[in-house]
């Protein structure tokens, strides 16, 4: 089986670096996008196996981007894990309403994030 592609949409370089280094140890291929709009474009171009979507993003919020991807038949079924820094009640519901497959609160443990990714998209 070919390697699974993961798209990470996040504006903070350090957080992207964490995921980059975390996945470097695995067989996952990582694509990165620094804002909501480029995230949507990258998803439509690459058709990844999983999308990690931050909520607070420049240009377009993670929730809007998720909605847009769900509306597009090509990306409608791609799993999306929404990452938010507002770890409050209601946030999870908002993420799920937007079409997220799963929800993870920031700050997350890289260990936990990796196990969540593996749970949804097992490595090749």
Partner 1 sequence: MRLDRTDPLAAFLLRSPIGALVDWVARVRASVQRKLLVAFLLITLLFIGMGAFSVLTIREMARQSDLLDRAHQRLEWSQQIHQSLAMQMHLTAMALLVRDEAAIASILRENNRFNEALGRLEEAVEEPERIVIQKVRAAQEEAMAVVADIANLVRDSKIEAATRLHGSREDPLYRSIDALVSQMVQQENARMVRLRDGLHAALERSLVVMGSFAAISVLLALAGGFVISWMLIRPVHAAHGLLHELAAGRFGGSVTVPNRDELGELAVQLSATSRELAHLDAEQRRAAHELATLNAKLQQASVAKSEFLANMSHELRTPLNAILGFTEMLTDGLYGPVPAEFREPLLDIQTNGRHLLRLINDVLDLSKIEAGRMELSLGEYSAEEVVNTVRASLRSLAEEKGLEFKTEIDASLPEVMLGDAKRITQCLLNLAGNALKFTKRGRVTLRAAREADLVHYSVSDTGIGIPADQLEAVFTEFRQLDATITREFGGTGLGLSITKKFVEMHGGRIWVESRLNEGSTFHFTIPLKSEVASTV
Of 73 and 107, nearer to partner 1 (C-beta) is: 107
- Spatial distance between the Cα atoms of 12 and 101, rounded to a whole number of angstroms: 23
- Based on the shown chain and the rule CB under 8 A, indicate whether residue 58 belongs to the binding site for partner 1: no
- Based on the shown chain and the rule CB under 8 A, indicate whether residue 22 belongs to the binding site for partner 1: yes
In 3D space, the residue among 19, 22, 20, 67 whose CA is nearest the CA of residue 43 turns out to be: 67
- Spatial distance between the Cα atoms of 101 and 16, rounded to a whole number of angstroms: 20
Among 31-39, 41-49, 73-81, 89-97, which window interacts with partner 1 (CB under 8 A)?
89-97
- Spatial distance between the Cα atoms of 104 and 124, rounded to a whole number of angstroms: 23
- Based on the shown chain and the rule CB under 8 A, indicate whether residue 12 belongs to the binding site for partner 1: yes
- Based on the shown chain and the rule CB under 8 A, indicate whether residue 5 belongs to the binding site for partner 1: no
- Based on the shown chain and the rule CB under 8 A, indicate whether residue 110 belongs to the binding site for partner 1: yes
Write down the least CB distance from residue 9 to partner 1, Å: 14
- Based on the shown chain and the rule CB under 8 A, indicate whether residue 8 belongs to the binding site for partner 1: no
Q: Extract long-range pairs of 72-78: CB within 8 Å, 24+ residues apart.
A: 72/44, 74/44, 74/47, 75/43, 75/44, 75/47, 78/43, 78/47, 78/48, 78/49, 78/50, 78/51
Write down the least CB distance from residue 15 to partner 1, Å: 6
| Chain residues that interact with partner 1, rule: CB under 8 A | 12, 14-15, 17-18, 21-22, 25, 56, 85-90, 93, 106-111
């Amino acid at each position: 089986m070919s390697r699974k592609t993961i798209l990470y949409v996040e504006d903070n370089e350090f957080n992207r670096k964490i995921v980059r280094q975390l996945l470097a140890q695995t067989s996952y291929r990582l694509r990165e996008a620094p804002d909501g709009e480029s995230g949507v474009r990258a998803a439509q171009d690459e058709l990844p196996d999983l999308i990690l979507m931050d909520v607070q993003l420049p240009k377009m919020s993670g929730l809007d981007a998720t909605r847009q991807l769900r509306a597009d038949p090509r990306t409608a079924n791609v799993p999306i894990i929404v990452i938010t820094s507002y770890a409050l009640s209601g946030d999870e519901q908002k993420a799920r309403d937007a079409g997220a497959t799963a929800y993870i609160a920031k700050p997350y443990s890289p260990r936990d994030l990796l196990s969540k990714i593996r749970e949804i998209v097992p490595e090749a």
